[in-house]
Each structure stands twice: as structure tokens, then as C-alpha cells.
Structure 1
Amino acid sequence: MAPPRRRAASPLTPKFIVILGLGMVVSVMLFLNLSFASMDKAAVPASGQALHLRVAEPTPPPHRRIIVLIANYRDTLRCAETLDSLFTRAAVPERVTVSLFDQLYLHEGEERCFDAYCAKVGDAECRRSERLRRNGTIDADQATGPTLGRYESEKGIDLAIDDFVLAIDSHTLFIKHWDTDVLSQWDSIGNKRAIITVYPDATTNMPPDGVFRKRVTLMCHAKIETEDKDSMIQYSASITVPVPSKPRLMSQFAGGFNFGTAQSALDVRNDPHTPYLFHGEEYSKAARLFTHGYDIQDIELYSLGTKRTMEQFIAFSSIDPSAAYKNGDDLQFDNCHELEYVPYDGDEVNFV
């Protein structure tokens, strides 16, 4: 009779299990350390990288939406080119939509801006249902100047959808990834009531993709327009200054390019009750923005605000609307120096 078989001893002794567990822990820790080391190295610029170029702040959350407002007065051809540039040059075009107000000679068959854009790129590519929020249209004979057109374009803003508003002229071309760039610049200011605004440079001076200019335009001169008693403030031509580290505090406002929160655009509307107001519209908007502190509470829509006084704005802007005419001197009012932020009660802004 054969002797009974003995069961082979199991290798999974308590001592072996402890050693195996320690080995697995060490392996995981080594893997994590190597992963973090690789991430750190990736964050360091490569040797020889052009560090003098502007480096944008971290990309903002992708869910923030921008609505672009355009009042088109018989400028359909260039307006369609503007829309083409707007969407093709955006980093995240699906987060961009437009609100248009066309003022056209309809009896002459003038075409609406978005219709011309769709004809230019094709119906499938223009994505009308996704990109066009609102399209108001009137006959050009009924147009009463820029403030009404811009006011009507603001009717497309929806605070339940839109985070930011960019108001532009109908003849504007964009740099590559303009949307993430302007959001990064706005974030760098650290003020939720900031408005980025400027007279855009001529398109003939547009730099190649990836090249940043060493100088930017600054609006800082103005004058009394005429000798008439009801003369308006007229902004003079902008100057150029070295590129700042972040958007510079400025006292003037450009109707043809301004970017801020959707809330600020509805808090301080373009005034539709100022027919044929051209040169004075930007000064009026600047004064109302400043005196509201970019917030409105229980006051008339187109009046001055109560956060700051008009006297403070005159001092801040170095522009006195009651001053005498000075023979058309473009440098009558000079505000090109570095400006200081003017605080007010309830101000939540902290600058570093």
C-alpha cells in the first residue's frame, strides 16, 4: 500500500504576504514620484525659448461664453468678413455667439450681415441656429446713430447663458485665439467690473500669428469739439505705449471695441435716447460706467451712478466738459500718465 500523499506547503505564508505588500507600495510610490517629476519638467520652459514673449495666464474654464454685439449700418460686405474672422480665429468658437442689428436700404436689396456670412462660407458652415442669437433689422432711413444700433444689439444678451460681452464695429478682424486671449487679459486685472476697451489698430498693422507687438495703443487725449454752447467732448487720436504687463487703467471708452461681463453691459446700457450722437457717445458711456462703479441699484438707466461722483470722473479723466474751446487742440486734455484706481464704498476690488 502506497504511503499517503502530503499536501505541498503553500508559498503564501504571512511573511511572504507582508513582503509582497511592501514591494507593491514601494512600486506605486516610485511611479507617482516619476510622474510628478515629468509634470514639473514639462512646466519649465525649454532652453532657448523666447521668454520675452507675453505668456498668457492659465486658460480660463471653457464653459464661459461670449456674446458679440454688432450694429451694422450698410456695411454688410465687411460685416460678413468680420463674422468669418470672429469664428475661424476663435480658440473655442462653440462658446461664441452674436447679436446683430442691421440698418439697411431694404428697398435696394441690401443683404443682412449674417445672410451674407452664410453665403460666403455656406449654410452648413455658418451654423445659423448655433451662432446667431438675435438679428434685428430696420430700414437705414430709420437709423438714428450708433447709440440706438448698439442698444438694439444688447437685446440679445441672456444672463442665463452669457458670461461676457464683446461689442465691436462691423469692420473688425481678429488675431488667432482672440477669445482665450481677451479672457486671460481680463482675468489678469483682478477686477470683476473691469472693461477692456481700445481703438483697434488698422488691419494693415496686424502682426503674424504668434508675434506680439512691443507697443499698444492708449487713448488719453481729448478736446472740446467746437465753439458751440452745446459742444461735445471729442476723443483725439490714440498714442502708442510699451506693452504693459496687464491691461492698463484708462479713463476713456471705445464704442467700437469693449469687453466686460454680460452683467455690466446690461447695467450700463447704450442710451437710445441720444439720436445722432457720435463724438459724445463714448464720453457719456465712460462717465456712466465710472460713476456706477460698474454696478446699478435703484437708479435711472441712463443717468449717472452714485458709486462715484461726476467730479471724481472729471479728476480721473482729466477732461472738463465745461472747459472752453481751444482752437481744435487735440491735446487740450492730456491723461497719458499712469492712472490710480478710485475706490468707493462697498468696493470689493483688491489690487496687488
Structure 2
Amino acid sequence: MHRTYSMRQTRAPTASQIQNPPPPPSTTKSGRLFGRGGFGHALRAKTAGAYGPDLAKKLSQLVKMEKNVMRSLETVAKERMEVAQQLSIWGEACDEDVSDVTDKLGVLIYEIGELEDQYVDRYDQYRVTVKSIRNIEASVQPSRDRKQKITDQIAQLKYKEPNSPKIVVLEQELVRAEAESLVAEAQLSNITREKIKAAYTYQFDALREHCEKVAIIAGYGKHLLELIDDTPVTPGETRAAYDGYEASKAIIQDCEGALTNWVTQNAAVNSKLSVRARTLSTRRRNNIKARVEGGHDLSGQDAPLNDRDSWVPAGQHHNEYDNSEDEEEDEEDGIAGSDNGLDGEHRGRTHEALAA
């Protein structure tokens, strides 16, 4: 009986992983109270943006929605691996050519599931980076609130006690609060631009690699299908003996080599701008460069503030706001272990490492 030549049995790092080391496992793969069901999705969707500072509510909602996306991607990856196993099991009872090809197709489909699982880890890089913007927004909220509070106090005193000496004191405090708020807002503006570019670079790079590799697998899958003899036979006629075992093995080996050696520089799909889009984009970049070279030195504008009561640094506010949300998410998704991936499990048939 033939055996499955499962790709990447030894789990050697691919060229892409050497060039761009994979991130740690996604934060959504552990701590799951409600399993794979949609209850956690619905709960996050309803509570997203309901808590926390007003400035951070919209981005907080986006972060939680992305968590739902990642949960769905995890489910797709696991179920695709299960489908691959079942395809291989079903094919055992078929004719030799169908049995061999379905077994190898199971290998390819299982590989797609593992690629999807890896994509989730890289997708989490994007989500965590977006969360850092949300934390900065949350840290800016106190400075806005303080400035608004002082403004309201001044207006109230001018209405009730126009000659009150407190008005002068509050106006001085308002000047300081406005200056501190300007620093906080500038930090928010700078960090938002930096992090949004980094976040979506993570997402698009991961998506590009995933789609290119899936396309590679699809191409080799079609080569496998050519090994099946679909010529109609008359009743009682016997098909010729199947002689494609070595060919199917070679196709799997070629596919493994293509996946292992893939790097971004060799991507088959390239996005080419039209002349108009390229000209306008270049003009925009040149304008930015000219402003930077001829602008003011803003290197000191992000210095930490000494007045802790007026504005809380992002790192400290993270402990107050972000951890509370993480605890909330842990309560939603609590129990890990029963819903782990299929790593380490054998597929429907015996695996054998590819020959060198």
C-alpha cells in the first residue's frame, strides 16, 4: 500500500521564514471560554466600544471586530485540516488512481489549512499594532477632559461671580492645560501615522504571502488531477493499471520546494500603478520630503510631561485601560487547551518524510 508523502514533515524553516521570522502565536489562540461558537462573537460585537474613554471607543470597536475575524480564520484553518483528513480517508476505498490522487490532494489541502493558521499569527501583529494606537488615544483623553473642565469652571464663575479672583487662577491653569494638550495631541498625531502604516504593512505582507502560496498549491493540485484517467469505459472493461505513484510523489515534492523557496522578491503578482497614479503618488512623496527638509525641528516635542495629573503617558495608561479589556476578553474566551490546532496529529494515512 502506498503512503502519503506529507510535505514539511520535518518543519524546516522556509526561505520566507528565514528572511522574515514568524511572530509568536496569536493571542486569540488561547483563553477561550465559549469554544468555537458564535456566542463570543456576538458578545464582543455588542460590547465593543461601550466602555473606555470616548476618544478610544471607535478604535476599540475595530480592535474587537478584528478579533472576531481572527476567530473565524482559526475555525476555517482547523476545519480545512479536518476536511483534508477526511478526503484522504474516503479515497482509500476508491480505485488506485483516485485513491493516490485524493491522498495527495489531502496533503495539499492540509497544507492550506496550516498556511491559514500561520496567517492568523501574522494577522495578530496587525491587530496588536492597532491596539497600541487605541491606547494612545485613551491616554490623550484625560488632557482633553481637564482642559474642558477648567473651561467650564471659568464660564460658571464668570456667570455667577464675575469679579471672583479664582477666574485669574483658572485662566492660568487653562493656558498650561492647553499647552499640555497640544503636546499630547501632537504625540497622538505622530504615533497614529507611524502605527497605522506599520499595522497595515503587517497585514498586506501577510496576505500577499498567504495568497501567493495558496495559488502555488492550487496549481500543483491541478497537475495532480491530470493523473486521473477519466476516459469512459464500457461495462466489463478493465482500466489499465495505475502507474502514477512516482509522478504524484514528484508533484508533491515540487510543490514543497516551491513553497519552501518562496520569498517576497519572487512574488508572481505585482501591483503596477498607472502613469497618472504613479505621478500623483510621486508628487505627494516629494511634497512630504520637501516639508521635512525645510520644516522645523520637532524632535523634542514628544518629551514626557512632568504633570502626571493632566496627562497620563501611554505606557502607564495601558496598564489602566488595556489590561482591563484583556481581562474582559479572557473572561469571554477563558478556557484554553480543548480547542487547540491539529499540530502534531497525523492525517488519515501514514506519513512519510519526503526523500531528499
TM-score norm. by structure 2 comes to: 0.22
Which structure carries more relative contact order (alpha carbon 8 Å, separation 6+)? 2
TM-score norm. by structure 1 comes to: 0.22
